[in-house]
């Protein structure tokens, strides 16, 4: 006796297989697109703000103290920090250099002299999420203001000597950043 499967069983099996094939990609890709990992302005704002809490904006990046320079532009900039009692200056006339050391009031900010961190005020736009460097990534354009700006960074002479800092601390600025999707939310790739 030969057993032939009935059509309803094979139809049911085909429907189950089709359902599984339809749902499987959603299970694997959809899990990262909800909650903190969803591609939306609120999650981008959180990711950017978290990044800048650990990465403040600073005047000096590669400077170590004591620092010597004969560059007139650098001298002019650092002299404003002397005027604001953050640095002390001595002049070595025999070799024509100015030597800067950190003043007691400047130890809190030295050696980089950070002047605050960015805080997102709005998300202007973002690119469609796409795989790059092994992660789902997007490029976000956002507006920000500076928070926790010290008093010395608001002085007119320091702002005149460091125009990029002046712009960042006195107005709303716009920037672009790349974010990568992770299970815990959007992050700036290092």
Residue 7: per-residue pLDDT: 52
The model carries a pTM of: 0.72
Same domain, 119 and 181: yes
Torsion-angle region of residue 184: left (phi > 0), alpha (psi -120 to 50) or beta?
Answer: alpha
135 forms beta bridges with 132
Respond yes or no on whether the N-terminal peptide bond of residue 149 is cis (omega within 30° of 0). Answer: no
Residue 22 counted as domain residue: no
Same domain, 156 and 179: yes
Number of compact structural domains in the chain: 2
What is the rounded distance in angstroms from the CA atom of residue 186 to the CA atom of residue 46? 8
Show the domain range for 99.
67-106
DSSP-assigned states of every residue in 34-80: SGGGS-SHHHHHHHHHHHHHHS--BS-SS--SSEEE--HHHHHHHHH
What is the rounded distance in angstroms from the CA atom of residue 161 to the CA atom of residue 70? 17
Same domain, 132 and 169: yes
Same domain, 139 and 175: yes
Same domain, 43 and 130: yes
Residue 23 counted as domain residue: no
Respond yes or no on whether the N-terminal peptide bond of residue 111 is cis (omega within 30° of 0). Answer: yes
* 110-157 pLDDT per residue, tens: 999 999 999 999 999 999 999 988 889 999 999 999 999 999 999 999
Q: Name, in order, each residue with C-beta under 8 angstroms of 168's C-beta and a sequence gap of 6 or more.
A: 57, 115, 146
Same domain, 161 and 82: no
* 65-82 pLDDT per residue, tens: 999 999 999 999 999 999
Residue 180: per-residue pLDDT: 95
Same domain, 94 and 147: no
């Amino acid at each position: 006796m030969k057993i032939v499967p009935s059509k309803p069983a094979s139809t049911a099996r085909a429907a189950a297989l089709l359902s599984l094939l339809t749902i499987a990609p959603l299970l694997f890709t959809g899990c990262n697109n909800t909650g903190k990992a969803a591609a939306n302005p609120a999650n981008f704002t959180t990711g950017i703000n978290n990044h800048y809490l650990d990465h403040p904006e600073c005047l000096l990046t590669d400077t170590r103290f004591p620092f010597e320079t004969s560059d007139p532009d650098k001298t002019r900039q650092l002299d404003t920090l002397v005027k604001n009692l953050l640095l002390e200056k001595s002049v070595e006339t025999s070799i024509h250099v100015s030597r800067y050391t950190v003043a007691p009031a400047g130890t809190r900010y030295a050696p980089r002299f950070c002047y605050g961190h960015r805080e997102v005020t709005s998300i202007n736009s973002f690119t469609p999420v796409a795989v790059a460097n092994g992660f789902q990534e997007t490029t976000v354009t956002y507006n920000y203001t500076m928070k926790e700006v010290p008093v010395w960074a608001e002085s007119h002479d320091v702002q005149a000597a460091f125009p990029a800092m002046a712009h960042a601390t006195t107005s709303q600025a716009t920037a672009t950043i790349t974010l990568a999707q992770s299970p815990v939310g959007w992050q700036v790739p290092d």
